[in-house]
Amino acid sequence: MTPQVMAQIHARSMTVPKPWSARTMQDFMRAPGTILVSRQAANGQLGGFALGRIVVDEGELLTLAVDPAIQGNGLGRDCLAGFLDACQSAGAARVFLEVAATNRIARNLYTSAGFTEDGVRKGYYQLPNETPVDAILMTRSVE
């Protein structure tokens, strides 16, 4: 999956946090320890991805995005499962992430995948109208 395609999917699926550019995607993909898991939709189009990294013995899910036109078909769950498997294979003991408190769909996905809510970063994100939104910190063991 190219950084350009990733940025397009990210822009269609994200409002909080602000969608990432192709350059940002490319910079993350070039960094040491990066894990990228992408999945195709049933029609063969690239529809979703999970992007993160390994730092020592921890995995960090930086972003997970699925094209809104095909959400609800398990693609996000598949991307997340692939990311967790890759983290475990890379020697991570746990995985952590941050998710907007207002993103109920993502929070439900992460909870159903075994993540627990461990903290809050007050006002970490901003809505397009500059209203602050809390980030929920979530972790999960992958041992």
Q: Which residues are catalytic?
A: 98, 110
Judged by phi (left if over 0) then psi (alpha if -120 to 50, else beta), residue 3 lies in: alpha
Name the phi and psi angles at 81, rounded to 5: -60, -45
In DSSP terms, 95 is beta-bridged to 59, 140
> What is the length of the chain?
143
- At 96, the amino acid letter reads F
